[in-house]
Amino acid sequence: MNKSPSPATQKIPDAGRQLRLPVLALATMVGLATPMGAANAAARMGDFDCLLEPSLTLEIRSPVTALIERVHAERGGIVRHGTPLVTLVSSVERAAVDLARFKAQMEGPLKSATSRMEFASNKLRRRTDLAQSNYISVQDRDDAASEYAIAQADAVIANEARIVAKLELAYAAAQLGQRFMQSPIDGVVVDQVLHAGELAEVGENKPYILKLAQVNPLRVKLLLSASLYPKVKIGMRGDVFVEQPAQDLRNAVVTQVDKVIDAASGTFQVHMDVPNPTDALIGGLRCRASLKGL
């Protein structure tokens, strides 16, 4: 006689299905937690993790070894192009500029040589006339011609000396200019290592004085899957959502696409520029970026 299944036996298949559903959901979450799963999910959403960084970072170093007289900017300060940053001790260079300027302005040697040349020219003209009338010998006229040639050479030498003096002034002024450092960019001071009274030395392995960061525009760096490489082009527009504490949405433009794909991760890097004219955003913030067309 066939027996009907008991109620407990009837619930077993349903319970199995109920157990399998959470297991599948958990497996999906685990798959998304892996790097490849997260990349695929981000690609499907058209939304990618990114980092907001300064578009340019500079270390301000001294071109000469000298004592620091004054540092005009401090950490956290805003600087503009041409803003004075550092002044080095320059008493010797100032004296050299003053000496070179005086030499460049000297007019005595050139005036003296010019006067001698004019006198010799007049003398030669008179001696030539007398020689043609046979009042003096040809030798006297030749002597006058030699004096005029020498006077001409002296005038050239005096003029060249003045040109050299002007070049020496320019050289001394350039040396003095190395004692004053100005900001080459609009940005902020993110670090200060040396202060007034300390020795600034030349060399990449020597401490820098200041570090500057250009924050307008800011640069967005994001990693994309290699499968998206054919679709990403320079000039593409997108949106960047800056996370805490800014909570701001900005427009951005692709400015650089890597020409080499990283074989280990199967990704490539893309740079986008975000305008920041008011310096409201700061570097180092995490963000989410989307590209139109992906």
Q: What is the pTM (predicted TM-score) of this model?
A: 0.69
The pLDDT tens digits for 241-250 are 987 776 788 8
Per-chain mean pLDDT for the chain: 84
Domain locations along the chain: 57-89+179-210, 92-177
DSSP notation for 217-245? EEEEEEEEEGGGGGG--TT-EEEEEE-TT
Q: Distance (Å, rounded) from C-alpha 97 to C-alpha 91? A: 10
User: Any idea what DSSP says for residue 34?
Assistant: S
Say if residue 283's pLDDT is above 80: yes
Region 59-64: mean pLDDT is 94
23-27, 134-138, 252-256: range with lowest mean pLDDT? 23-27
At residue 246, the pLDDT reads 64
57-89+179-210 CATH fold: OB fold (Dihydrolipoamide Acetyltransferase, E2P) (2.40.50)
CA angle at residue 14 from 11 to 17, to 5 degrees? Answer: 150
The pLDDT tens digits for 155-204 are 999 999 999 999 999 999 999 999 999 999 999 999 999 999 999 999 88
Q: Is the Cβ–Cβ distance between 163 and 99 less than 8 Å?
A: no
At residue 118, the pLDDT reads 94
Region 59-81: mean pLDDT is 94
Q: Is the CA virtual torsion 182, 186, 188, 193 positive or negative?
A: negative
Q: Is the Cβ–Cβ distance between 208 and 193 less than 8 Å?
A: yes
| 22: confidence class by pLDDT, cuts 50, 70, 90 | very low
Q: Distance (Å, rounded) from C-alpha 87 to C-alpha 66? A: 10
